[in-house]
């Protein structure tokens, strides 16, 4: 998937944890090779939240 900007809907988990739930469209998940339960690294770059997959080295590429 090439670098593109997308807008996602975010929600407070509303459980007192301070967690954020980010709705990622299915086509983006597929393009990034992600599945439900995959872990993501979140980085704030300027005003953008950048999500990148955390790959377990035991899973292979």
Instruction: Give the burial string for 2-14 (b: 16+ CB within 10 Å, else e).
Output: eeeeeeeeeeeee
Better-scored residue on pLDDT, 58 or 56: 56
Are 17 and 37 a contacting pair, CB within 8 Å? no
With a cut of 80, say whether residue 2 has pLDDT above it: no
> What is the structure's pLDDT at 6?
76
> What is the structure's pLDDT at 59?
54
> What is the structure's pLDDT at 21?
87
Query: Per-residue pLDDT tens for 6-46?
Result: 777 889 999 999 998 888 888 888 888 888 888 889 898 99
Residue recorded with tokens 């770059």: 45
- How far, in Å, CA of 54 to CA of 41, rounded? 6
**pLDDT band at residue 1, thresholds of 50, 70 and 90?**
very low
């Amino acid at each position: 998937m090439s670098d593109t900007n997308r807008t996602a809907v975010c929600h407070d988990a509303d459980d007192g944890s301070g967690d954020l739930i980010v709705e990622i469209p299915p086509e983006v998940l597929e393009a990034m090779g992600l599945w439900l339960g995959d872990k993501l690294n979140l980085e704030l770059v300027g005003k953008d939240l950048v999500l990148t997959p955390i790959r377990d080295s035991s899973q292979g590429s």
